[in-house]
């Protein structure tokens, strides 16, 4: 290491604004003032473009760069324009640990072949709060032991594929009601409750985890002052390092989240995080914000506030995990190898549609009526066997199209379907008027999305059940299943995944082309209807 500036740079990851490596980020990578890049959806247009971008980042870096992404699958799908989309963690867990391991390794292997060396996964949070706005189907389930076991399978698969796994979001984000992107998330459990519940999947997997991502979560029973775990010496150095004995790499969640910056500001938060004992900081803003954080940390070292030994300890952990650059695609010389990889991705994607269909949970069979509706003759198990039009009632969502009507129509061109959309903050009077205007036998496939947060869907379900034949699909949170729990005639499914891949799989199930084999990993017994 040639300077303090370069030593500090090794500990900071940035974010680029588009599909190519811009001049300023290239300059800072080459100078050693940036230790790598985290990529997102906006950085991906195609496989060839993504391969070129990864190659440019790796080759431009003075350090062995950390090239990372939070490609979790399901709701967090960054590269579906280039790589195989994969089902959500909860959907994979519904199929069992063997399938989970196999699919996780497929996704990780594709990333590794592009030159990625760190995967910000698996999520080891428990999904125990219906009002949680951030985890949901990113978790494997609600049981500490189930999540622990599934987490180990995922960790082993990621590492076997040649990436480093990063368990998150320590000390557990699943029981919070806040989104740490927007505010400080709070867990008010006692130490004993934490050890038995939220912390258990992390503790069980400490021997297998190369790295852990620490979230902006306040443990109010451990820290009296409202301080996020990322900045807490009691949590990082005390609980995680000393009490639990973990000596692997500690990664921050994005340091630009308002759970931090609203109180501390970016630069001070970065210094506090390193003082607390973190090793690698995700500073995922503009290049100006990342370099402001860099300058502040350098000044803290020069002034003696941060010791050089503290910085070097983190560098040592990075060098242990990432001793050399991974191979990337040099497209000027390896066009054939990229074409072979593209074919591999295409074949994997086809198999993952079938896996996604099998992962669907059929919570209740409800009616099955062997009438004709233009469906293929062999699809007698389909709940869509009836005459007349099926109205697919789906939410307008800014991220997830949920084009179920189109996917069913593609499989069954002769079916009569309509695509009926509603806003999550829906006008109930307008909805009632539209429902009253439907002619003939009213048949609706109702896709709900996080109804405990978007509560109007509860009243919509009541109105539908009173006047329609309904098929209920809980697209994201399986807690939505309670909306139709009291109607035995209503078939209900938990998709546990709002992505395009999952909607394709659901269409195969509803048209009888695939069998729903998933088993729910979430306890619905204590859950009551949202009011």
Q: What is the pLDDT of residue 335?
A: 86
**At 488, is the pLDDT very low, low, confident or very high (cuts 50, 70, 90)?**
confident
Peptide bond into 122 cis (omega under 30): yes
Distances (CA, A) of 406 to 348, 372, 507: 23, 20, 9
Q: How far apart are alpha carbons 291 and 492 in whole angstroms?
A: 51
Helix ranges restricted to H, 61-96 = 89-95
Distance CA 435, CA 420 (A): 10
- The pLDDT value recorded for residue 529 is 76
What pLDDT does residue 367 have? 61
How confident is the model at residue 381, as a pLDDT? 63
Is residue 151 within 8 A of residue 139, CB to CB? The reply is no
Residues with a known catalytic role? 181, 253
Q: What is the pLDDT of residue 377?
A: 46
For residue 473, pLDDT over 70 is answered with yes
- Domain ranges in the chain? 4-326, 360-510
**Nearest CA among 173, 212, 171 for reference residue 194:** 171
Tell me which CATH homologous superfamily contains domain 4-326: Glycoside hydrolase, family 3, N-terminal domain (3.20.20.300)
Q: Which residues pair with 443 in a beta bridge?
A: 390, 469
Residue ranges in 38-84 assigned as alpha helix (H): 47-60
Q: List CB contacts of 333: < 8 A, sequence separation 6 or more.
A: none
What pTM value is reported for the model?
0.95
Q: For the segment 84-135, what is each residue's pLDDT rounded down to a tens digit?
A: 999 999 999 999 999 999 999 999 999 999 999 999 999 999 999 999 889 9
Rounded to whole angstroms, the Cα distance separating 60 from 26 reads 6
Q: Which of 159, 118, 151 is nearest to 318 (CA)?
A: 118
Residue 192 token pair: 């004993």
DSSP code at position 168: E
Q: Mind giving me the DSSP string for 397-424?
A: -SS----HHHHHHHH-TTS-EEEEEEET
Q: What is the CATH number of domain 360-510?
A: 3.40.50.1700
Same fold, 4-326 and 360-510: no
Answer yes or no: is pLDDT of 203 > 90.
Answer: yes
The residues, ordered by sequence, that sit 6+ positions from 332 with a Cβ below 8 Å of its Cβ are: none
30-53 confidence digits (pLDDT tens): 999 999 999 999 999 999 999 999
* Average pLDDT for the chain: 93
Rounded Cα distance, 168 and 76, in Å: 14
Residues 6 or more apart whose CB falls under 8 angstroms from that of 398 comprise none
288 or 528, higher pLDDT: 288
How many C-beta atoms surround the C-beta of residue 96 within 10 A? 15
Q: Of 348, 323, 321, nearest to 165 (Cα)? A: 321
- Across 152-181, average pLDDT: 93
- What angle, 0 to 180 degrees and rounded to 10, lies between the N-to-C axes of helices 500-510 and 404-411? 50
pLDDT digits (tens, 9 = 90+) for 381-409: 678 866 789 999 999 999 999 999 999 99
Contact call for residues 164 and 118 (beta carbons, < 8 A):
yes
- Model confidence at 525, in pLDDT bands (50, 70, 90)? confident
169 pLDDT more than 80: yes
**Phi, psi torsion values for 387, nearest 5 degrees:** -80, 165
pLDDT of amino acid 528? 78
Residues near 463 by Cβ (< 8 Å), separated by ≥ 6? 431, 432, 435
b/e per residue 426-460 (b: at least 16 CB within 10 A): beeeebeeebeebeeebbbbbbbbbbbbbebbbbb
Band (368; pLDDT cuts 50, 70, 90) = low
């Amino acid at each position: 290491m040639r300077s303090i500036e370069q030593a500090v740079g090794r500990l900071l990851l940035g974010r680029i604004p588009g599909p190519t490596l811009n001049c300023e980020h290239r300059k800072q990578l080459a100078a050693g003032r940036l230790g790598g890049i985290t990529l997102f959806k906006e950085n991906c247009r195609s496989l060839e473009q993504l391969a070129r971008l990864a190659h440019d980042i790796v080759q431009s870096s003075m350090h062995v760069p950390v090239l990372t992404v939070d490609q979790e699958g399901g709701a967090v799908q960054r590269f579906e324009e280039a790589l195989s989309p994969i089902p959500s963690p909860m959907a994979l867990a519904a199929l069992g640990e063997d399938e989970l391991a196999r699919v996780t390794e497929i996704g990780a292997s594709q990333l590794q072949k592009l030159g990625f060396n760190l995967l910000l996964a698996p999520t080891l949070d428990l999904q125990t709060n219906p009002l949680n706005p951030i985890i949901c189907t990113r978790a494997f389930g609600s049981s500490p032991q189930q999540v622990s076991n599934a987490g180990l399978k995922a960790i082993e698969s990621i590492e076997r594929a040649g990436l480093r796994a990063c368990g998150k979001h320590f000390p557990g984000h699943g029981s919070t009601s806040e989104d740490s992107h927007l505010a400080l998330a709070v867990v008010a459990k006692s130490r004993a409750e934490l050890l038995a519940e939220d912390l258990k999947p992390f503790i069980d997997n400490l021997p297998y985890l190369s790295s852990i991502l620490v979230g902006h979560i306040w443990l109010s029973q451990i820290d009296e002052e409202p301080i996020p775990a990322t900045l807490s010496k009691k949590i990082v150095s005390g609980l995680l390092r000393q009490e639990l004995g973990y000596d692997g790499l500690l990664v921050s969640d994005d340091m630009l989240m308002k759970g931090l910056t609203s109180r501390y500001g970016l630069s001070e938060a970065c210094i506090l995080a390193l003082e607390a004992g973190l090793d690698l900081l995700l500073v995922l803003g503009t290049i100006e914000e990342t370099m402001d954080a860099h300058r502040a940390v350098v000044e803290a070292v020069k002034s003696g506030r941060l010791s050089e030994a503290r910085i070097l300890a983190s560098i040592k952990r990075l060098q242990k995990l990432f001793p050399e650059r991974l191979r990337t695609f040099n497209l000027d010389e390896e066009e054939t190898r990229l074409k072979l990889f593209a074919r591999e991705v295409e074949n994997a994607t086809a198999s993952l549609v079938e896996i996604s269909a099998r992962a669907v949970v059929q919570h209740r069979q409800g009616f099955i009526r062997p009438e004709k509706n233009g469906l293929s003759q062999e699809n007698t198990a389909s709940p869509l066997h009836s005459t007349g039009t099926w109205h697919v009632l789906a939410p307008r969502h800014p991220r997830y199209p949920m084009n179920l009507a189109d996917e069913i129509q593609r499989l069954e061109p002769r079916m009569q379907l309509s695509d009926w959309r509603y806003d999550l903050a829906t006008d109930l009077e307008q909805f009632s008027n539209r429902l009253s205007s439907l002619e003939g036998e009213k048949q609706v496939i109702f896709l709900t999305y996080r109804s405990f947060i978007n509560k109007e869907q509860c009243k919509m379900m009541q109105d539908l059940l009173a006047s329609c034949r309904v098929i209920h699909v809980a697209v994201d949170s399986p807690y939505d299943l309670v909306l139709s729990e009291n109607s035995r005639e209503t078939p209900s499914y938990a998709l546990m995944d709002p992505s395009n891949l999952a909607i394709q799989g659901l269409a195969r199930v509803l048209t009888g082309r695939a069998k729903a084999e998933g088993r729910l990993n979430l306890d619905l017994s204590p859950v009551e209807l949202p009011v």
